[in-house]
Structure formats: structure tokens, C-alpha cells
Amino acid sequence: MRVVVTTPLEDDLLERIRAADERIELVVPRELIAAPAFPSAHPFPAPDERWDALLESAEVLFDFGPLDLAPRLSSRPHLRWIQATSAGVGRLVERAGLQRSDVVVTTASGVHARALAEFALLAMLMFAKDTLRLVREQRDHQWQQYAVEELRGKVVCVVGLGKIGRETARLARLLDARTVGTVRTVGDRRAEDLHVERLVPTEQIDELLPEADVVVLATPHTPLTHRLLDARRLALLKPSAIVVNVARGDVVDEQALIDALREGRLGGAALDVFEREPLPEDSPLWDLPNVFVSPHSASTVAAENGRIVELFVENLRRYLDGRPLLNVLDKEQLY
């Protein structure tokens, strides 16, 4: 079984893949793989005619390969499975035409949950303690005492109680916040099992927003969640509420968010994702005093590659044994 790696991995992790089963032929075209700019970065490799033959021969891909060749993945004769290095690959799969193919895509769902939950917690604490003000006043050598707030008793609304959302709710409860949340379909799921006091379907989010002190967006980007937090829903929030987005930029109407922040109709925002990335230099979000900007890096930790490879090796064994794979992307729901 030929496995082609298309993204940077450390040598010891490549050896772990090789050691998973003697039937694996691991192909690592080092001269074509893009160099990582930081630990656990997964850049798309540059176009090169040599990629075509490699993708043509692969049964399994570790990541998608060059972005410009993604639309041809569904027609590769031997390709059966792609292991992604991200959880939110639904839109890429859609753009590549893989929705209508037999190629199985498995995601890195769960790998980034703790890191993103910690970012959400950081944002809650930053705004409770008015940390952005502290940074400005330290820079300007100003000494001005003021009162801060606690997270205890605050209502944290987590939109999307998947692995990221559940971990966010769990950590928030450890600081005595009250948590509520949404899922696409409630069914027989119990609120307490998801670390929230109250659980509603995503389409009923309006019921939760007026009482929320913090809204954490941790939902996949799907047709249901596209601009879920629009101008009307932002107006339901308290003027003191903050928005934390670790989902995708298109889950929020960005211009409506900017307007609410500028006009004092919203307390603040901590954003790791944006409608356009990199965030354009002329975006007002850079300079608004109540916004914390993160360059889509909150999910990335140095240990990420090891965790993805651990998941991949388990799935390799399952694949070779004919057992169900973990984290298979639902091509209808796109997560």
C-alpha cells in the first residue's frame, strides 16, 4: 500500500508510520514538501509536475498535496483515503469535488481541542481582567487603578459542542462559569454530558444569546452556520458581551461585527479566524481597542504532529484490517 506524505513531518514520526505495518510503502518527497515556517505548520506544497505522478500512484495521502491539484484528486485511479491535518476541511473537500467521490477523508478532529479551548479561556480572562487596557497603559507608562471582573457566574454560550466546544465548556465550568450551548440536532443528548446547563438546537440559538456574557463559536462552517452570527443576532447580545471565534471566519458577518464593536454595542472580540486570511492590512479589526487578533494559530502547538500521526497510525491499522476508520468526514454535513 503506497502512502504519500505531502506535508512536513519529523523523521521520528515518519518512522512511526513505517513501523505501523510491513505492507506500507511510505513515500516522502522531501524536495517537494514545503518547509514549515514554525513547528507543526502544514503548508500546501508548491506546484511541481512531479506531484502528478506521485498522486497518481498513491492509495493513501497524508494531507491533500498541492492546492491547485486538489480538484483532480477524485479522479486518481488508486486513491482511496486522505488523512487531513485539520478538523475543518469540509469546504476544501467540497471545492475539490471530493464530495461526489469514493475517496474517504479522515480529519484531525480532536487533535486541536485543548489548544483552542485554552485560547477561548484566555480570551474570557483577558476581557474579564481588561488585559488589552493593561497592555496599552504599560506601553504608555500609565498607572491608573481600576476594578476587574471574575468569570465566576458569567454565562458562556458555546456554539457547537463538538470536541472543541465540549472542552471549552468543561474548562469554563472549572472557573465556575455557567455554560449553555448548541448542537445541530439535540436528539437524545444530555446537556450535562456536554458540560452545559442548557442545550438547544443551533437553529434556536436566539434563545441563549440575550443572557450570554461570552459567545464562543466552535462550530463547523456549513450552510447552516454560514454567517450564523449576523447583525440581527449580534443585536440580541448584551453591550458588555464578548465574542470568541475559533470556528471559521464565515460563521460571523464580519462587517456587522465590526460595526457593533465600533459603536459600543458589543464589549469585545477575540478572533482566531477571519473572512479573508491573512487579515487584510486595512481591516479595522487590527486597530479596534476591544479586539484581540490571532493569526489563525490558536490551534497549533508543537505536539500537534505527534498527535496527528498517532491518529493516522491507528487508522492505518484499521484500514489494513478492514475496520471502520476514526474521524471520517461526513460529506453531507461537511464535518
- Tens digit of each residue's pLDDT (9 = 90 or more) over 154-182: 999 999 999 999 999 999 999 999 999 99
pLDDT confidence of residue 252: 98
296 is catalytic: yes
Check residue 266 and report its DSSP letter.
S
78 is catalytic: no
Closest C-alpha to 123, from 170, 156, 146: 156
| CA angle, 116 then 121 then 127, to 5° | 130
Residues 105 and 28: their CA atoms lie apart, in Å, by 20
Residues 31 and 77: their CA atoms lie apart, in Å, by 24
Cis peptide bond N-terminal to 295, omega within 30: no
- What nine digits make up the cell of 128? 474579564
pTM (two decimals): 0.95
Q: Which of 2, 296, 307, 318 is catalytic?
A: 296
- Please, what is the average pLDDT of the chain? 97
Tell me the pLDDT tens digit for each residue of 34-93: 999 999 999 999 999 999 999 999 999 999 999 999 999 999 999 999 999 999 999 999
Residue range 267-286: mean pLDDT, rounded: 98
pLDDT confidence of residue 251: 98
Q: Going from the N-terminus, what domains does the chain have, and what CATH number goes with each?
A: 2-110+301-321 (3.40.50.720), 113-293 (3.40.50.720)
Residues 197 and 284: their CA atoms lie apart, in Å, by 36
Other residues' Cβ atoms within 10 Å of the Cβ of residue 296: 16
Q: Which of 112, 114, 178, 248 is catalytic?
A: 248
Q: What is the distance in angstroms between the CA of the first residue and the CA of the last residue of the chain?
A: 27
226 is catalytic: no
Residues 110 and 308: their CA atoms lie apart, in Å, by 9
Q: Which of 15, 197, 207, 277 is catalytic?
A: 277
Regarding beta strands 214-217 and 268-271, do their DSSP bridges make them parallel or antiparallel, or are they unpaired?
Answer: unpaired
CA separation, residue 30 to residues 10, 73, 131 (Å): 11, 21, 43
Quick one: what percent of the chain has pLDDT higher than 90? Answer: 100
Residues 221 and 112: their CA atoms lie apart, in Å, by 16
pLDDT confidence of residue 21: 96
